[in-house]
């Protein structure tokens, strides 16, 4: 398991909230973000894993 930070993003690109999650891999962390937030960025340390949501499709 690895630690990831999920940032919930508003329509202006500002961070609304952040959550620490433990996931098996990048795909699992992105799946968690998709399941819980409309727009989000997933980070592992200083590495951007990916973005989710309508504005990032």
Q: What is the pLDDT of residue 53?
A: 86
pLDDT digits (tens, 9 = 90+) for 14-51: 999 999 999 999 999 999 999 999 999 999 999 999 99
Of 8, 34, 10, 5, nearest to 21 by C-alpha is 5
The pTM is what? 0.89
Question: Rounded to an integer, what distance in angstroms lies between the CA atom of residue 1 and that of residue 56?
Answer: 26
Domain count for the chain, please give it: 1
Q: What is the pLDDT of residue 55?
A: 60
Domain that includes residue 18, residue range:
2-56
Question: Rounded to an integer, what distance in angstroms lies between the CA atom of residue 1 and that of residue 13?
Answer: 29
């Amino acid at each position: 398991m690895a630690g990831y930070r999920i940032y919930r993003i508003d329509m202006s690109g500002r961070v609304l909230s952040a959550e620490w999650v433990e996931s098996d891999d990048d795909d699992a962390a992105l799946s968690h973000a998709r399941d819980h937030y409309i727009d989000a960025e997933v980070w592992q340390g200083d590495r951007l894993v990916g973005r989710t949501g309508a504005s990032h499709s």
